[in-house]
Structure formats: C-alpha cells, structure tokens
Chain A
C-alpha cells in the first residue's frame, strides 16, 4: 500500500510510526520489535489498571494481537503510542466491566470487592490515628493498590496514563475519547479520592507542611 504524503511526513518524524508502517507491510521482524519495544509499558499500565500480573500480560498480549490484526487499516494520524493506548484503554475497560458483570473470586484475595469495606474505612481509620511509621514497602504498596481499586474504572485509567505514561490531558482525552475538560474533571475527582484514601500515609516521611484544618 503506498504511503500518502502526510503519512510519509509523520513516519519520518516518529520512529514508532515507521516501525508500525513496517508491520503494516508484513515485516515480521518489525512486529517482534514492536512487541519488544512496547511490552514493558503496556504490561505496566495494564497491571496498574487491573491489579493482576497475569491478567495484565493477557491484556497486553491481546493489544498486540489487535495491532497485528488491524495492521492493514493503520493510517498514521497521531502519535503511535496514542493509538496503541486507545486499544489498550478499550480492552482494559471491557475487562474491568466483564469482571463486574461476572464477579469471580480473585486468585489473590483482596478485600476491595464491592461488598468489602470502603478503602477509606480500611486505610485511614481516623486522621488522629496515622498508621505506624514502620510500615513496610509491601504493606504500603497494598494500601495504595486498594486506594487505586477504589477509583472508578475511568478514573483509574486516567490516573494511570497521567502518572505512569506521563500523558498530558489532551493525549488522555484522545485515548479515552473524551474532551480535555472531561479529563480535567475525571482526574480532579480521582486525585481527591486518592487524597482522601491515602491521607494517613502521605506524611510518613515528614511532618505536614502546616497545621490547618480543612
């Protein structure tokens, strides 16, 4: 398939697009290289969204397979990573919704299910009773994981893309098919919820800046 002028210009600017164009042209080495290049980011993002390594790998694999299956339809329109994470976003949200529709016992038992205590109740019983300062890294990670699980699916995706993919609001809006204004609201609610859930843990390494009542 000949590359149009716009595509050619974009391809020259973005090495990832160049690679994807090789995938489109059935260069099998290019597909392996693409998988190798993006697997860490995709598995990482998926893990933060779904909370399970195994499921994250399965989903990341499915993203790559979709890339391959739809390769002939690929036309460079934006950054390649935006396109890739759009597919990832769709798959992740579907997986989370499927999970809600067909609740199953998770392999790793967590108490963050819909009937379990709310994250704010389990994590920070009261502002006056901050958790022990000797909290171990793993325990802290578990607490943060539960706080993340306490977000809505979209909030979680937006936070993960913002934090771990360093995406700006416009790119998140592209990936999630929202307006940047909606992304701003989404992230604001998500950050407020995280703040509430983790308030007992944020000054473990230092005193709060000022003592002011909220």
Chain B
C-alpha cells in the first residue's frame, strides 16, 4: 500500500528488546509466558518499574492534546463536493453532535445481575407458545433488518392495511422491538448499565448506541408483514404488546427515548446472535431466565472481545481464578470509565484550571484538610486508620494540590471523598462522656466482659484502642450469637444528649428543625441502641443534605456526590 520503502530504523528489532516487551505488556499485547517474564522482571528490578511507570505516564500525557471538533458544516461541505449528492436532501442522522473519545467508549459488556432481580413471580402462562410467536416475528425482524440494509430509503410511505385499528399502528411500527421484549419491567432491567444501558460516561449523548433499526418507520409490504405478524400472535401476547407500548409511551419523553434505545440495542444484538443462541434467549420460560441467558451470553462476548493475549491468560485457570481475574479487569475498566466521566464532566473547569468546590473557599479548604487530619489521624502514622497506600495517595494529593493549586485540588477532593465513603461505617458521632467511648477490654461493662470467651477476645484484640472499631466489632459479634442472654447496654452514645457539643448544637439548630414528625419518631425508636441510633441520626442528616460536624466531610453531601461521585456516587453507595 505504501509507495515508499519504510525507514529501516522504524521496524527493525528494537535496540532494547525488554523495552519493546514492556510497551507491549502495557498495551496488553503479550502472550501469557512473555507477560509473566515481564512481571517477574518488574517485581525484581526497580529500574524496570520506573521505566514502566514513565512509559505509562508519558502515554497518559497524550490525553492533554486537544481533540478538535469538525466544523459544524463539515458534512454539508463534504456532500457538496459530490455533484451527484449535492442537491439531495440532508437526512436526519442519528449521530450525536458531540464526539465521543474512542478510548472512552468501552467495549465492556455487562457484569452480574443483582440477585434481587430474579425474584419476580412468573406471569407468563404459556411460555413456549409465546416463544414461538416471538420466533416468528424475529424471523421477520431479521428479514426486515436485512432488507433495510440493502434498500434505499423509500420515497414515500405506503398506506397500511385498512383493517388495522389506528391505535395499533404505532405498536406495529415498533413491533420489531416489542417482539423481543417481555414487558416494561424486562425493558427496564435491560436498561441497566450491565445489559444494554447507555454507557455511563456518554450518558449525555442521546445517540442510540447501535443504530440497527432503520430510522424510517416500516411502510408498504414491511408494515403489512409486521401487521400480519402482530395479528397472528395469541390474544394474550397481543395484549402484552399493547400494554408494553402503552407503558413505554406513558414514560416522560427522555425516559421513553432511553428505553427505545435500549430496545434497539437489544434487538440488534439479538439479531446478530447465532441462531442457536438466539433461540436460547427467546425460548427461556420466564423473563428472569431470559435475563440470565442474556447475561451469560454478554459475559462470554465480553471475554471474546478481549485482546487475544489477555484472553489467553484465562486458559487453563480454575473457574474461581478466572472469575477473579475477570472481576479485576472489569473493575479496572469501570475505574477507567469513571476517570473519563470525571474528565468529561469537568472539561471546562480543567481547561480553565479552576479550583473545584469546596476548595474554592479558604475556610472550606481548611475545614476539609482538618477533617481528614483529625478523623483519620493522617499525621500520626501509627494511629492512622488508612492503609499505607491510601495514606500515601492522600498525602501526595494534598501536597500536589497545595503546591499547584487550581484543578490539582480535584484529585485531592476525589481522594478524600473515596476515603470518607470507604470508611463511612466507622464515622459515627463521638460521645461527650469519655466513659461511653469503649475501645478496650478494661472499660467494658460487666455484662459484656462475662460474655467474652477466648475466641471472641482473639477477634477483638486487633481492634483494641480504636473507637468505634472495637465497640462495633464487639457489638456485631455478640449480635450474631443466638439467645444472647438479654439486652445489653449501648456501647456508645445513643441519645442526642450523649453527643459532643458541636453535634448537639447541629441537632438543635440544623437537623431537628428540618425533621418531619415521622422522622423524629423513627429516630426516637432507636434511642438507647448503639450503633443503630447514631446511624439513623447520620441517615437523616444525609437525607436533608446536611454535614454532621466532625463526622462527615464539611459541605453539602449531595454536592460531594455530584462533584466527586460520578457513577460511583450515591447509586453505588453500599
């Protein structure tokens, strides 16, 4: 293809074969044996590790290059260069107006379905008849897709069969999509990111992910064939399709469009499946089983889409190890998606090097730094709650933010947000009375000491000296013992009056005035129970978007979620 010889130095074996392997390793292009050799070298050679880090960092730097948009009239100008097309009408194209960075578009396919999804009762009385109906329509659907791929757009729409009620016209037009769905709940499940939902990082983009269904409505023979197919469905199935159409179009426009996109993606995916696998999906007896089959096939497709060398690493592994490795890769992919989402959401602020909320205010900046220092004891390594890695990352992010200012504070904000969320279960209001701060065996009420056997003691030893870790561990252990021998006194503050001054003032001035009588009642029900009472207290504060002094990150919790949560925000909260 090239009309000139290659510059020889470009493709000759590299001067440093290890560096070539290292680059290929970072790109996921090495086979298993070669990858292991690189990993061994990396494990034993600090210089190699440094080189690997530098290569990766350098590659990441390329992300700073601007990504130019084509001019708004690029398509028109291009079409105008072709005389035969110049006077033709411009179609309504479905591509988004904003580009999607290629590396942001994940090739990922979904992960496991939450077990709760499978609890819906069976409602389909005759699954096999139903599936047969689906198959008939899907056969037609495949033909429709194939025809759509080959034909030019019709100049005019032909009339539909007269005998079809007007109310059914729309659902016939949508039948290629409805035919492969059970009901609105099934579609909503499919809309989850794990199945065919919009990629979280491109969620602003209303473009259908897979433009498989012709944007024009079916007309003429195609419409007639669809209408006939609809009429040949069993009455119960016809009714179900009507119901789905009704419920779908009762949704707000944005939600409806989103679900239609999901159906398009699902229908196109189904259409491309090998016959045997398509039958497996359609013949599943219940929507839940169908979702299970879809999940299994998507999982396999995800594995098949991995680079050959990465895929090769899975061969010969035990199923547990395989699942673990796949889980790792998916988590890494999710992290990359999150990072992209951060960058995408904040592109303007990054470009202008603005200081992000809440660090744009001096008092708030100091408050957050102080919160992290006091709560996690970041300046006392021996007492610090964080892991060594977390502490290193936190310290480095803070140092970089203080040194560089501007958007460098974002990395610090994300670090603090991640840490605060991870340790949320430990962040409870402290007691005013030190006697209620149970963090060692010696302070415990006798009703507890009597129940601590050697096994339990061994479990508690690592937590001694830490509050509320010690008390929480003890509470959890004793709660799991059946017939624990009657109620035990609380192991921490379990009334507002037990809290320290700042939290009591917060209750009086901020939280209490906002609570409804029901919410007050719920809190009161937990009095004298620890940690239930402080947990309910924290939940109510969060519900009203309030930060509890000294216990949660300063500033509005919702703004923290919105600014630093991304797709890991409240939805991902444990």
What residues make up the interface of A, taking CB atoms closer than 8 Å to B? 3, 8, 11-13, 15, 18, 21-22, 25-29, 31-33, 35-37, 39-41, 43-44, 47-48, 53, 56-57, 60-61, 64-65, 68, 86, 89-90, 93, 97, 133-134, 136-137, 140-141, 144-145, 148, 152, 154-155, 159, 162-166, 168-170, 177-178, 182, 184-189, 191-192, 194-195, 198-199, 201-210, 212-214
Is B518 part of the binding interface, using a Cβ–Cβ cutoff of 8 Å? no
Complex Cα spacing A192 to B16, Å: 10
B304 to chain A minimum Cβ distance, whole angstroms, is 12
Is B228 part of the binding interface, using a Cβ–Cβ cutoff of 8 Å? no
Contacts of A35 in B (CB 8 A): 74-75, 78-79
B77 to chain A minimum Cβ distance, whole angstroms, is 7
Complex Cα spacing A162 to B7, Å: 20
Select from chain A the residue with minimum beta-carbon distance to B145.
A12
What residues make up the interface of B, taking CB atoms closer than 8 Å to A? 1-2, 4, 6-7, 9-14, 16, 19-20, 23-24, 27-29, 46-47, 49-51, 53-55, 57-59, 61-62, 64-71, 74-75, 77-79, 81-82, 84-85, 88, 90-91, 93-95, 99-103, 145-146, 149-153, 210-212, 268, 271-272, 307-308, 350-351, 353, 396, 400, 403-405, 408, 411
User: Would you call B49 and A68 a contact (CB within 8 A)?
Assistant: no
Contacts of A162 in B (CB 8 A): 27
Contacts A32-B75, A32-B90, A177-B1 given; does A205 touch B64 at CB 8 Å: no
Query: When A and B form their complex, which 8 residue pairs have the shortest distance between CB atoms, in order from nearest?
Result: A40-B99, A188-B20, A182-B11, A202-B57, A29-B91, A18-B149, A36-B93, A177-B1
User: Would you call B24 and A15 a contact (CB within 8 A)?
Assistant: no
User: Would you call B47 and A209 a contact (CB within 8 A)?
Assistant: no
Contacts of B100 in A (CB 8 A): 40
Contacts A15-B212, A188-B14 given; does A57 touch B70 at CB 8 Å: yes
User: Would you call B95 and A194 a contact (CB within 8 A)?
Assistant: no
User: Would you call A166 and B24 a contact (CB within 8 A)?
Assistant: no
User: Would you call B10 and A185 a contact (CB within 8 A)?
Assistant: yes
Question: Of the candidates A43, A93, A134, A166, which one forms a contact with B70 in the assembled complex, judged by CB atoms under 8 Å apart?
Answer: A43
User: Would you call B1 and A90 a contact (CB within 8 A)?
Assistant: yes
Given contacts A43-B68, A144-B62, A214-B47, 19 further A-B contacts (CB under 8 A): A12-B271, A21-B150, A26-B152, A31-B82, A37-B93, A40-B69, A40-B70, A57-B70, A137-B351, A144-B64, A148-B65, A154-B6, A164-B62, A170-B308, A184-B23, A184-B24, A186-B11, A187-B27, A214-B51
Question: Of the candidates B55, B93, B102, which one forms a contact with A166 in the assembled complex, judged by CB atoms under 8 Å apart?
Answer: B102
Question: Of the candidates B11, B74, B271, which one forms a contact with A185 in the assembled complex, judged by CB atoms under 8 Å apart?
Answer: B11
Complex Cα spacing A139 to B506, Å: 47
Complex Cα spacing A165 to B55, Å: 19
Can you offer 11 A-B residue contacts whose CB atoms are under 8 A?
A15-B268, A22-B150, A32-B79, A152-B10, A169-B29, A177-B1, A185-B14, A191-B58, A192-B55, A195-B51, A206-B400
User: Would you call B81 and A65 a contact (CB within 8 A)?
Assistant: yes
Question: Of the candidates A137, A170, A185, A208, which one forms a contact with B53 in the assembled complex, judged by CB atoms under 8 Å apart?
Answer: A208
User: Would you call B70 and A198 a contact (CB within 8 A)?
Assistant: no
Contacts of A213 in B (CB 8 A): 47
User: Would you call A11 and B149 a contact (CB within 8 A)?
Assistant: yes
Complex Cα spacing A206 to B351, Å: 20
Select from chain B the residue with minimum beta-carbon distance to A151.
B10
User: Would you call B404 and A134 a contact (CB within 8 A)?
Assistant: yes
Contacts of A43 in B (CB 8 A): 68-70, 74
Select from chain A the residue with minimum beta-carbon distance to B403.
A133
Select from chain B the residue with minimum beta-carbon distance to A26.
B152
Complex Cα spacing A188 to B9, Å: 12
Contacts A40-B70, A214-B47 given; does A169 touch B24 at CB 8 Å: yes
Question: Of the candidates A44, A61, A159, A210, which one forms a contact with B68 in the assembled complex, judged by CB atoms under 8 Å apart?
Answer: A44
B264 to chain A minimum Cβ distance, whole angstroms, is 11
User: Would you call B55 and A195 a contact (CB within 8 A)?
Assistant: yes
A2 to chain B minimum Cβ distance, whole angstroms, is 10
User: Would you call A140 and B58 a contact (CB within 8 A)?
Assistant: no
Complex Cα spacing A210 to B53, Å: 10
User: Would you call A154 and B59 a contact (CB within 8 A)?
Assistant: no
User: Would you call B403 and A25 a contact (CB within 8 A)?
Assistant: no
Select from chain A the residue with minimum beta-carbon distance to B310.
A168
User: Would you call B58 and A137 a contact (CB within 8 A)?
Assistant: no
Contacts of A192 in B (CB 8 A): 14, 16, 19, 23, 55
Select from chain B the residue with minimum beta-carbon distance to A13.
B272
Select from chain A the residue with minimum beta-carbon distance to B91.
A29
Question: Of the candidates A57, A155, A164, A206, which one forms a contact with B74 in the assembled complex, judged by CB atoms under 8 Å apart?
Answer: A57
Contacts A36-B75, A41-B102, A186-B11 given; does A68 touch B65 at CB 8 Å: no
B49 to chain A minimum Cβ distance, whole angstroms, is 7
A90 to chain B minimum Cβ distance, whole angstroms, is 6
User: Would you call A209 and B49 a contact (CB within 8 A)?
Assistant: yes
Contacts of A210 in B (CB 8 A): 46, 49-50
Between A182, A185, A204, the greatest number of chain B beta carbons within 10 A of the residue's beta carbon is seen for A185
Select from chain B the residue with minimum beta-carbon distance to A43.
B70
User: Would you call A201 and B61 a contact (CB within 8 A)?
Assistant: yes
Select from chain A the residue with minimum beta-carbon distance to B99.
A40
B256 to chain A minimum Cβ distance, whole angstroms, is 23
User: Would you call A27 and B103 a contact (CB within 8 A)?
Assistant: no
Contacts of B53 in A (CB 8 A): 208-209
Complex Cα spacing A10 to B12, Å: 35
Complex Cα spacing A11 to B62, Å: 34
User: Would you call A93 and B2 a contact (CB within 8 A)?
Assistant: yes
A146 to chain B minimum Cβ distance, whole angstroms, is 11
User: Would you call A60 and B152 a contact (CB within 8 A)?
Assistant: no
A18 to chain B minimum Cβ distance, whole angstroms, is 4
A195 to chain B minimum Cβ distance, whole angstroms, is 5
User: Would you call B350 and A177 a contact (CB within 8 A)?
Assistant: no
Contacts of A41 in B (CB 8 A): 99, 102
Between B7, B23, B53, B408, the greatest number of chain A beta carbons within 10 A of the residue's beta carbon is seen for B23
User: Would you call A25 and B150 a contact (CB within 8 A)?
Assistant: yes
Contacts of B210 in A (CB 8 A): 15
Between B54, B77, B211, the greatest number of chain A beta carbons within 10 A of the residue's beta carbon is seen for B54
A6 to chain B minimum Cβ distance, whole angstroms, is 15
Between B66, B79, B145, the greatest number of chain A beta carbons within 10 A of the residue's beta carbon is seen for B66
Contacts A36-B95, A184-B24, A210-B49 given; does A141 touch B66 at CB 8 Å: yes
Contacts A33-B95, A133-B404, A189-B14 given; does A28 touch B88 at CB 8 Å: yes
Contacts of A206 in B (CB 8 A): 396, 400
Contacts of A154 in B (CB 8 A): 6-7, 10-11
User: Would you call A27 and B153 a contact (CB within 8 A)?
Assistant: yes
Contacts of B54 in A (CB 8 A): 195, 199, 202
Contacts of B272 in A (CB 8 A): 12-13
A189 to chain B minimum Cβ distance, whole angstroms, is 6
A73 to chain B minimum Cβ distance, whole angstroms, is 15
Select from chain B the residue with minimum beta-carbon distance to A139.
B64
User: Would you call A166 and B103 a contact (CB within 8 A)?
Assistant: yes
Contacts of B353 in A (CB 8 A): 136-137
User: Would you call A68 and B46 a contact (CB within 8 A)?
Assistant: no
Between A32, A134, A194, A210, the greatest number of chain B beta carbons within 10 A of the residue's beta carbon is seen for A32
Question: Of the candidates B23, B68, B101, B211, which one forms a contact with A191 in the assembled complex, judged by CB atoms under 8 Å apart?
Answer: B23
Complex Cα spacing A169 to B308, Å: 11
